[in-house]
Amino acid sequence: MQYEANTLENHWLPFTSNRDFKQEPRLLVKGEGVYYWNHKGEKLLDGSSGLFCVAAGHARKEIAEAVGRQLLEMDYGPHFQVAHPSSFELARKVAALTPDGLDYVFFCNSGSESVDTAIKIALAYHRARNDGQRTRFVSRERAYHGVNIGGVSLAGMVRNRETFGAVMPGVVHMRHTWSPDARFTRGQPEKGAELADDLQRFVDLYGGSTIAACFVEPIAGSTGVLVPPKGYLERLRKICDAHGILLVFDEVICGFGRTGKAFAAQSFGVTPDMITMAKALTNGAQPMGAVAVSDKIYGTIVDSAPDHAVELFHGYTYSAHPAACAAGIAALTIYEKEGLFQRAAEMSPYFLDAVYSLKGIPAVTDIRGYGMLAGIDLATDGRPGVRGYDATKRLFAAGLHVKFTGDAGIIAPPFVAEKSHIDQMIDILRKVFSQY
């Protein structure tokens, strides 16, 4: 199907060079399996699972049929003092995947909302414990925690912050974990655990009793896949425990099999107090996010309220929307029946071998990877982000969708990808990157 350019004008696209895009649009009109089709009818491999959402591949009939049935049965029902049964079933299925002790699930509509929800839960938890002076949060340079005000306040990516000066106060940032000495490291770098001591420095500077929570992505995804050094997450957990600080893992990208296990917390053997999630929760088929919280947090907040009173004054019109719950239940059922998390773990060595074979191309300055997730840095041309944007367009024209942040390409194929699909992706990446 052909589309006239002037029909694109009214939509203000997010995170997009709108003027350039509308002169040369890249429209996706169909998806199936590991493929997209553009508006010209050309077929593209999806090298980033959309935006790291579509773990089970595109156009899963099981999900579409479940959503359709739900919309015909009940299209919408609120979750303020009433509820729909599917929300409890989805919460049960999520809790079965999270680390032991994280058994309660709060639903929202996106990864950004899950982060802001976790911020508010942390504040509510400490207040319920008569520890309400804990209002400070610790995040990290190069962090991405969504685009709501709370998440932007936690963010460590400058372009996501600099326009929006009036962000949440009381947020401090640890150093990021990338080091030039660790270029082309596969998996976890051997050095860098001591960077977690930045949290201890903030404890010493501000007082541990003022810090509510420390937010980290186990693997910093959107900035270009920064895998944590060995011992780093363990050290954060130890410091948090010593000072009563909640540890929150943002697993919006890592969650649901991307690291070879349900959550990166399990891959790295570190259990946080909360996990934020979204994206693959519904295989990208419906907008949805969630926060899994520890039994301790849930019990403290709920038990501190008077009888018959609302315990947490937070929620959204579309929290646990019936159609989103239907999509989530269907997606998690697919992951289980098809063993997709295990498939991701088994495919990871082949995938990483293929990605690291790009080392040696002059324009490729670093590669990082873990599980079915990899980041590839391209040398800048002196203007940060320009080459990455150009690569996005060249790869699209060559038949491959890849998400870039600045000059870092993020490769995250659907778990249903075959070795032949990975080979094709790498061939296209090699050809395009060799043009620089």
Q: What is the C-alpha separation between 171 and 214, in angstroms, rounded?
A: 10
Domain co-membership, 164 together with 74: yes
Distances in Å between the Cα of 178 and the Cα atoms of 37, 111, 127, 174, 412 are 36, 24, 35, 12, 20
Supply the CATH number for residue 300's domain.
Answer: 3.40.640.10
pTM, two decimals, is 0.96
- Looking at the fold, whether 183 and 50 belong to one and the same domain comes out as no
Task: Pull the structure tokens for residue 277.
Answer: 């999630």
- Shared-domain flag, residues 48 and 144: no
Report the share of the chain in percent with pLDDT over 90: 94
**Of the candidates 337, 364, 391, which is a domain's last residue?**
337
Final residue in a domain of this structure, among 292, 318, 337: 337
Model confidence at 7: pLDDT above 90: no
pLDDT for residue 377 = 98
User: In this structure, are 347 and 333 located in the same domain?
Assistant: no
Instruction: Please check whether residues 323 and 346 belong to one and the same domain.
Output: no
The tens digit of pLDDT for each residue in 153-175 reads 999 988 888 888 768 999 999 99
For residue 194, report the phi and psi dihedrals to the nearest 5 degrees.
-65, -15
The tokens describing 284, both together, are: 């990208």
| Model pLDDT, residue 312 | 97
pLDDT digits (tens, 9 = 90+) for 16-48: 999 999 999 999 999 999 999 999 999 999 999
Lowest model confidence (mean pLDDT) among 262-266, 371-375, 379-383, 427-431: 379-383
pLDDT tens-digit series, residues 351-373: 999 999 999 999 999 999 999 99
| Whether 93 and 192 share a structural domain | yes
Query: Stretch 401-418: mean pLDDT, rounded?
Result: 98
Domain final position from 312, 337, 362: 337
- Taking phi over 0 as left and psi of -120 to 50 as alpha, with beta for the rest, 240 belongs to alpha
Are 343 and 305 members of one domain? Answer: no
Alpha carbon distance 35, 425 (integer Å): 11
User: pLDDT tens-digit profile of 304-357?
Assistant: 999 999 999 999 999 999 999 999 999 999 999 999 999 999 999 999 999 999
pLDDT, position 336: 98
Q: Is the pLDDT of residue 6 over 70?
A: no
Q: Are 372 and 304 in the same domain?
A: no
* 170 and 185 belong to one structural domain: yes
Domain coverage including residue 268 = 64-337
Q: How many domains does the chain have?
A: 2
| Residue 1 predicted with pLDDT over 70 | no
Are residues 77 and 41 part of one domain? no
Find the CATH number of the domain harbouring 426.
Answer: 3.90.1150.10
229 and 288 share one domain: yes
Q: Are residues 363 and 265 in the same domain?
A: no
Residue 69 is predicted with a pLDDT of: 98
Residue 115, phi-psi category: left (phi > 0), alpha (psi -120 to 50), beta (remainder): alpha
